[in-house]
Chain A
Amino acid sequence: MKKGSSGVISDLAKTVLIGNRTYALWMFALIAISMLGLNAFSRQLAHGLYTTGMGDEVSWGLYISNFAFLVGMAAAAVMMVIPAYVFKDEEIHKVVIFTELWAVAALVMCLLFVTADIGRPDRLWHMFPVIGVFNWPMSMLTWDVLVLNGYLFLNLYVCGYVLYKKYTGQKLVARHYVPIVFLAIAWAPLIHTITAFLFQGLGARPFWHSGLIAPRFLASAFAAGPAFIILVFKIMEYFKCCTIHKDVIAKIRIIVTVSLLINLLLFGSELFTELYSGSEHSIHLSFLLGLHGNSVLAPWIWSAVVLNIIAAFILLLPARQNPQFLTAACVMIIVGIWVEKGLGFVISGFIPTPLGDFVQYQPTLNELTVCFGILAFGLLIYTALLKIAVPIINGELCHRKNDN
C-alpha cells in the first residue's frame, strides 16, 4: 500500500517536473514572475497598502478588479460542463476536465487577490466560523467567502475523482460524481451573482447600484471564460497534447458569440439609461467615458468597447471559420472584458467619491508586480494541473502495478 502511494507521488512529480525545452522555459518564467510577485507582496506586508495606488478615495483598485474578472473566469468553466452533462455531448465530455481545472486555478487566483487586498491578512482568522465572528447572512462578503470556497471544493472533488479513477484504471461511477457536477453547475452562476451583489447592493455607489450588474457579470464571464478555453485548446493542439474535435471549438464559439452579444446589449442598455436621462447618477459613467473632464480610464474603456465590438463582428461574419481570426477575436474579448469589468466597473464606482471628489487612480509598480505574480502563479498551477491531466485522460499515464 505504501509502495503504491509513493508510486503515485513520484509519477505525478515526474510528470510535472519533466518536459521539453518550451515547457521548462514557460514554467521557469512563471516561477520567476511568481517570485517577483511574492517579493512585492512582502514589501506590501512590510509597509502597508500605502505601496499601492489606492487611497481613501479609490479604496479598491487592481486587486479587486482582477478578483471580479477571475470569479467570472471560474464561473464560466461551467458553460462547458452544461452541454457535456446535460446534453450528453461526448466530444465535449472528454475536455470538460480541462475547463474544470481552469476553474480551480482561477479560484486560487481569486483568493490570492483578495488576500493581497486585505490590510491585515494576519487577522483573516477573524472570519473563520466558530473561532472568529462571521457576519453571515448580513454581509455579502461572507456569502462570497462561502460560495467561492464551496465552488473550489466542488471542482477539486470532481477533478480529483475523475483523474484518480482514470489513473488507477477504475471505472467512473456516475453516482459518485455526476450529482456533484450538477451541483457545481448550479453553483457557478451563484459565485458570480454574489460577487455582483457585493457591488450592486451598495446604495452609496450609484454606478454599481443597478440590477443589471449581475446579468452583465454573467454575460461577460460567459464570453471571456470560454474564449480563454478556446485559446487553451488551440495551444494544447499546437503542442500536440491532445486532439480537440472541431465541433467542440465550434460549440464553445457559439457560447462566446451569444454571451458577447448579450453583454453588449446590456452595456448599451445601461449606457442609454445613464446618458439619456442625464441624472446626477450618470456622472460616474460620463466621467469614465471622458465626457466629464480628463479621465485616465477613458482611453482604456473606449479601447475595450471597440475590441468587444470588433470581436462581435468577427464572430458573426464567416471570418469566424478562419482559425487566426477566431484566435484574434478570443484575445480581444478577454482583454476587452478584463478592462470593462476591472478598470471600467470597479474603479469607476469610486470616481467621483460619494462627496463628489474626483481623484484618479494609478496603480504603482509594486501593485502591478503583485498582480502579475498572482496571475503567473495561477497559470503555473493550471499548467502543472494540465501536465498531469492530459496524459491521464489520454491514457498515457496510469498506475503501473508491477513497477517499483
Chain B
Amino acid sequence: MSTEEQKNLKLENEDQQQPVISRRYFLAGAACVSAATAVSLSPLLNAEEVPSGDDFIQKHYKELNAEEKKEIFAKLEARIDKQYGVSSTISDPPPIDGVEFAYVLNLGRCIGCRKCVYACMEENNQSRSPQKQYIRVLKMKQGTINLETSSHDYPEKEASSEDFFYMPVACQQCREPKCIEVCPVKATWKEKDGIVVVDYNWCIGCRYCEAACPYHARRFNFAKPQIPAEDLNPDMGYLSNRPRYMGVMEKCTFCLHKTRRGEYPACMEVCPTGSRKFGNLRDPESEVRKIIEQERVFVLKQEVGTLPKFYYTFAK
C-alpha cells in the first residue's frame, strides 16, 4: 500500500467515526479541561495580596492632582490602621528649591558596626521577614578596593578590626541613574533635589532597574513584606517609607520624609563614629560641600559614568 492510499484510508476511517467521537468526546474533553483549569487556578484563592479596584486603575504619581493624592493618602492610612492597628500619617514633602542632597562617608572612621543598616530598616519600614536592607557593609582587606574579595556577611564580632576597613554601600543617588533609563514604565525617576524614587503603585516588577544598577542598591519584594505592628514607623512618606507591596521595587530615598523637613537621614543620626555627613551640595557653607572641596574624595565605580552624589573619603 502506498503512503497516499494509507492516508486516504485513515481519512475515511476518521470520517466514519467522526460524528460519534466528536460529540461525546468533545463534551467530555471540554468538561475535563475546564475542571482541570479551575483546579489549576485554585491557589489564587489564597493570594496574599489582591489589588483593589482603585489600586488597579490608579494613575502614575506624576499624573495625580492634589485632590487625588489626598484621597489616596487617606485610603492608605485607613488601610494601615486596619492592618496594623497603627495610626500613621502619610506625607508627601516636595523637593526644596535650591537643594541638592549629597552624602559623604569617611572610610577612615567607619568601624563596620552595621548600626546604620538596622536604623535604616527601622526608619524605612523595610520587610523584616524576609529581611530587606538598603545598606550593605563590605569588609575589605587593607591595601585594596577589590569588591570581589570583600566580605558581606561577616559576623558582628569581626567589626572594627585593624586589618580591614569597612565600606557601607547604598543607593548612590546618581546624577545619571541607569535604573531610571531602563524602566519601561517610568515608575522610577530622579526628583529635583536629586533623590531617585520609586512609585510603588506603578512599578510592574520587571527588575530591569535591579540589573542595571552598578551598586546593587535596589531591593525587590519577592515575598509580601512582613513588619510586626509594634515595629512600624508611623511617620511615612508616600515616595519613601510607606509599607510596600509584594512584587515591587524599593530603594534608599535619603529618608526624604525626614530630610526634606530639615532632619538628617536615619543612617547618619545613628552612626556612632561620625563617619557619615549629609547635606545640601548647592549650599557653599554646607559641611558636605566643604569636605568635597577640601578633602580628597572619590566615588565608587567612576568608570560606569553614573556620577554618584555619594562620596567616599579616607580622612582621619
Contacts and interface: CB of A to CB of B under 8 A. Distances in A.
A46 B46 contact: yes
B247 A203 contact: no
Interface in B42-61: 42-49, 51, 56, 60
Given A39-B43, A355-B152, A355-B215, A50 B206 contact: no
A14 interface: yes
Contacts of B247: 48-49, 118-120
Contact of A357 (B43, B183, B211, B216): B216
Given A47-B48, A204-B212, A119 B148 contact: no
Contacts of A119: 203-207, 220-222, 246-248
Given A14-B18, A18-B18, A118-B204, A39 B33 contact: no
Contacts of A355: 136, 138, 147, 150, 152, 169, 215-216
A127 B204 contact: yes
A117 interface: yes
Contact of A356 (B14, B47, B138): B138
Interface string B248-268: 100000000000000000000
Interface in B189-225: 202-208, 210-216, 218-224
Interface string B139-150: 000000011111
B48 A141 contact: no
A191 to B, nearest CB: 16
Contacts of B41: 38-39, 42
B140 to A, nearest CB: 10
Contacts, number: 197
A60 interface: yes
Nearest to B30: A17
Contacts of B148: 280, 283, 352, 356
Contact of A59 (B183, B202, B207): B207
A205 interface: yes
A135 interface: yes
B246 A48 contact: yes
Interface string A41-55: 011011111101011
A141 B208 CA distance: 8
Contacts of A138: 181-182
Contact of B185 (A39, A60, A127): A127
B39 interface: yes
Contacts of B7: 240, 396
A214 B165 CA distance: 40
Contact of B224 (A42, A48, A123): A48
A334 to B, nearest CB: 26
Contact of A35 (B18, B37, B45, B206): B37
A52 B207 CA distance: 14
B294 interface: no
Interface string A204-221: 110000000000000000
Interface of A: 14, 17-18, 20, 31-32, 35-36, 38-39, 42-43, 45-50, 52, 54-57, 59-60, 117-124, 126-127, 132-135, 138-142, 145, 198, 202-205, 240, 243, 280, 283, 349-350, 352-357, 396
9 contacts: A35-B40, A47-B224, A118-B204, A119-B246, A139-B183, A140-B182, A202-B211, A240-B3, A355-B147
Given A126-B185, A139-B183, A204-B178, 12 more contacts: A47-B48, A52-B222, A56-B210, A56-B220, A118-B204, A126-B204, A133-B186, A139-B184, A280-B146, A354-B214, A355-B136, A396-B11
Interface of B: 3, 6-7, 10-11, 14, 18, 21-22, 25-26, 29, 33, 36-37, 39-49, 51, 56, 60, 130, 136, 138, 146-150, 152, 169, 178, 181-187, 202-208, 210-216, 218-224, 245-248, 301, 304-305
Q: Closest 6 CB pairs between A and B?
A: A119-B205, A119-B247, A356-B147, A50-B223, A204-B214, A356-B148
